[in-house]
């Protein structure tokens, strides 16, 4: 097992608020590392530093052994970092198929061409169609994102991230707002993906976390207070207290 993502002593301050307090963690190949914590624990802040939208004040982030701390979002993506957004973040005026094709386009390159015709780049559309085939969104390929249900958008978020063929996935609450059946489907889907792609999973839904995670870290007030296997975290009194003090979700 080798580490694909290594976070070392990450610190982020907003004025006087310590949003990320000396966080260190790793994601290894073949691993689904879940990050849990009450609301306001700084999970999104951490994710945004990992993908490059925020710059940490201290600490280092390494992807595949390479230091990416100062790199821009697109550069990290080019190195194999994929992500989904907590609040879905898609091209709303485009169709499902076009959203996926855009991700394929990003992967293929040659996008400064001003004299070609996007519709004639068959390989782009073939790949997009192949990615859609067999998914619940197949029948919705030509629907605009603005016309999708919340659950469908969540699925599309994941598909778009996968279309970029990431080597590591950062998932920011993929279950949020999903119904029971949709959640079950999403868990099954993530289990499949987890076979080949390591993930850092930020999630509130404990059923999902316990079903998916190979390792769990608990973030409270920007600090990791515990890290370990599912059973270890389940029975950790400190975690129970920190967590149950904030909200009654861990059961």
Partner 1 sequence: MQKTLIVVGLIVLLLVPTLTDLAGQPALLSLVTRILIYSIAAASLNFILGYGGMVSFGHAAFFGVGGYVVGILFVHHGSGEPLLGFIPGSNQLLVTLPLAVIVAGAFAGLVGALSLRTSGVQFIMITLAFAQMLYFLFVSLKTYGGEDGIIIRRSNELFGLDMRDKAVMYYVILVVWAGFFVLLWRLIQSSFGTVIKGIRQNERRMAALGFAPYRYKLYAFVLAGAGAGLAGALMANFLRFTSPDMLHWSKSGELMIMVILGGVGSFFGPILGAGAFLVLESFLAGWSEHWPLALGLILLVVVLGTKGGLGGLIGKLAAWATRGRT
Report the interface residues with partner 1, using CB under 8 A: 51, 53, 72-75, 77-78, 83, 85, 89-94, 102-103, 105-107, 110-119, 121, 160, 164
Q: Which is nearer to partner 1, 38 or 82 (CB)?
A: 82
Q: How far is the CB of 117 from partner 1 (least distance, A)?
A: 5
- Strand runs (DSSP E) across 15-130, as ranges? 17-28, 32-36, 58-63, 66-67, 81-84
Minimal distance in Å, beta carbon 162 to partner 1?
A: 12
**38 vs 52, beta carbon nearer partner 1:** 52
Q: How far is the CB of 94 from partner 1 (least distance, A)?
A: 7
Sheet of 32-36, strands arranged across? 81-84, 168-172, 199-202, 32-36, 215-220, 223-228
Name which of 165, 228, 173 is nearest 204 in CA terms: 173
Radius of gyration of the chain (CA): 19
Between 125 and 221, CB nearer to partner 1: 125
CB closer to partner 1 out of 106 and 211 = 106
Q: 198: closest CA among 1, 17, 4? A: 4
The distance of closest approach from Cβ of residue 78 to partner 1 in the complex, given in angstroms and rounded to an integer, is 5
């Amino acid at each position: 097992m080798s580490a694909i993502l290594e976070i070392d002593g990450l610190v982020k301050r907003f004025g006087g608020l310590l949003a990320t307090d000396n966080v260190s963690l790793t994601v290894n190949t073949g691993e689904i590392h879940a990050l849990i914590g009450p609301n306001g624990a700084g999970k999104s802040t951490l994710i945004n530093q990992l993908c490059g939208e925020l710059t940490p004040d201290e600490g280092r982030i390494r992807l595949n052994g390479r230091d990416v701390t100062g790199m821009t979002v697109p550069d990290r993506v080019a190195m194999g970092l994929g992500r989904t957004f907590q609040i879905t973040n898609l091209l709303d005026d485009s169709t499902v198929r076009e959203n996926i094709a855009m991700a394929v386009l990003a992967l293929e390159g040659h996008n400064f061409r001003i004299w070609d015709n996007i519709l004639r780049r068959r390989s782009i559309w073939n790949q997009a169609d192949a990615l859609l085939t067999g998914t619940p969104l197949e029948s919705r390929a030509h629907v605009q994102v603005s016309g999708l249900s919340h659950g469908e958008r969540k699925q599309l978020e994941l598909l778009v991230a996968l279309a970029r063929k990431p080597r590591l996935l950062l998932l920011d609450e993929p279950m949020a707002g999903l119904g029971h059946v949709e959640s079950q489907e999403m868990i099954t889907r993530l289990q499949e993906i987890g076979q080949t792609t390591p993930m850092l999973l930020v999630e509130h839904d404990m059923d999902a976390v316990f079903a998916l995670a190979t390792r769990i870290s608990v973030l409270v007030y920007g600090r990791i207070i515990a890290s370990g296997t599912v059973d270890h975290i389940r029975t950790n009194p400190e975690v129970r207290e920190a967590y149950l003090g904030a909200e009654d979700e861990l059961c």
